[in-house]
Amino acid sequence: MKKFLYCVILLCAGMVYAAESESAVAESAQAEEARRLDTIRYGTEVEIATLIQTLKSETNADIGDVLDDALIAVTQNTRNQNILSGVLSFFGERGKQGLEERAVRAIEERDEEANATVIAALDYLGKIKAASAIPTLKAILDTSETRFTNSAIRAMGRAASDGGAVGDDATEYLLDYYEYQNPTDESRREIIVALGETSSKTALPLLIGIVENDAERPTVRMAALDALAKLKDDSALDAILSATSASDTNVRASAIAALGPFSGAQVEDAILEGFRDSYYRTRIGAAKAAGERKLASAVPYLRFRAERDDVATVKDEAIRALGAIGNSEAMGVLSDFFLNRKTAERTRLLSAEMLIKNDASAYAEQLITELEEANKSHYTSLYNGFLRVLSMAKTSKVEEITRRFLSSGGVLEKSYALDIAANNSFTSLAELIRAVASDTKNSGLARKAQTTLTKLGLE
């Protein structure tokens, strides 16, 4: 009986401790949010800018509506360039709406705003695809204020990228601007890029004509090729294929890369021939196109490039293309690279990343083995690289090592373990995550742990 009572007392004590610990974590999180809110409401431009950088660095963190609302509020009446530009940039990078009205106002009242603020507003409207802002963008282009022209063109292409009637209307305007407003060479290039963003077939005749014009500037032809690849219309295929034999090496490379969305024997032959090109960018284009098309016949070429090419970026793109193809042959090549400890570190890490992204369950245990071997051999950069790859794994086979990292790992191991827990919804690790969240020795890691609890629904 005494033993039973003793066990009950221990259980109750544990429950009390857990409740107190959870309460402490919640209080710490609330205090941190309150501190950040005070910084937004009363801080200097430097303090707010520093906070925004901190928020940006908290990868995949859920910033929360309270902080976002506070940032929106602080922009409404300020004309401080650093604050307004910083918040617009922060929201734009996340595709976060809420600043459309303020951005439009900054453009309309541009004589009272810093140029950097107006450009940030234009970029923001483009990044969130604000179709409602297209009339404002047209208005600023009609003024011929060259300081904002290219930013406004870029924003219009993105704002109209959902296509439909909005895309057609924006395309007609940009085509008219191209033909009759005498844009600079740089602005012409920006218009061509924007035409690719709009998804409108109305731009095809102009773009095809540019690609077929050998006298046109190479940078403009390259932009037109990229735009045609985005439009994915078969009527452009002959022009693209013709450009694969262009005398300019950069045009040739862009043409090969533009073949990715297309199909047919001619397309496959052109891509495979691109692997033989002495210009490295053409080989990169061939690898990207092969990956986009999941071109199985390219696997031997990609293996050769990954093993022997003398340009590191070509090797990288070949490995990524093998991952994109992802058939048994391609996965076998990647496995060979990954498991061969004599393979260059960069190749091993990228191969491991492709394997884990494609089939984490099949390769997680091998990755853990290689991770532990790298640690045992004191190969620090390889170990850290494998940790990063492991954090991408979505499989129950990484739960045990995640538990180990959370309980006894260093700061880096714990940080990646939190990513793994969030990616795999490992709610069974809640108490270990709470322990990290309540650790006062590393506030950044504690915040990340609290964010992880929120993602897991364990707040």
Confidence of residue 3 (pLDDT cuts 50, 70, 90): low
At 136-159, the pLDDT tens digits run 999 999 998 899 999 999 999 999
All residues at 6 or more sequence positions from 42 whose CB lies less than 8 Å from its CB, including other chains? none
Confidence of residue 49 (pLDDT cuts 50, 70, 90): confident
Q: Tell me: pLDDT of 89 over 60.
A: yes
At 158-182, the pLDDT tens digits run 999 987 899 999 999 999 999 999 9
All residues at 6 or more sequence positions from 126 whose CB lies less than 8 Å from its CB, including other chains? 154, 155, 156, 157, 158, 159
pLDDT for residue 55: 81
State how far the Cα of 372 lies from the Cα of 362, in Å rounded to an integer.
18
pLDDT for residue 234: 95
At 251-307, the pLDDT tens digits run 999 999 999 999 999 999 999 999 999 999 999 999 999 999 999 999 999 999 999
> Which DSSP string corresponds to 300-362?
HHHHHHHHH-SSHHHHHHHHHHHHHH-SHHHHHHHHHHHH-TTS-HHHHHHHHHHHHHHHHHH
Task: State the burial class of residue 392 (Cβ atoms within 10 Å of its Cβ: 0-12, 13-18, 19+).
Answer: middle
Q: Tell me: pLDDT of 1 over 60.
A: no
Q: Tell me: pLDDT of 443 over 90.
A: no
Among 275, 368, 355, CA closest to 319: 355
Confidence of residue 18 (pLDDT cuts 50, 70, 90): very low
Confidence of residue 30 (pLDDT cuts 50, 70, 90): confident
What percent of the chain is modeled with pLDDT above 70? 92
Evaluate whether 359 touches 387 at the Cβ level (below 8 Å). Answer: no
**Phi, psi of 70, deg, nearest 5:** -65, -40
Please give the residue that has the higher pLDDT: either 46 or 302.
302
HSE-CB at 458 with a 13 A cutoff on CA atoms is 22
Evaluate whether 171 touches 198 at the Cβ level (below 8 Å). Answer: yes
Evaluate whether 137 touches 125 at the Cβ level (below 8 Å). Answer: yes
Specify the amino acid at residue 309: D
State how far the Cα of 147 lies from the Cα of 113, in Å rounded to an integer.
13
Q: Give the chain's mean pLDDT.
A: 90
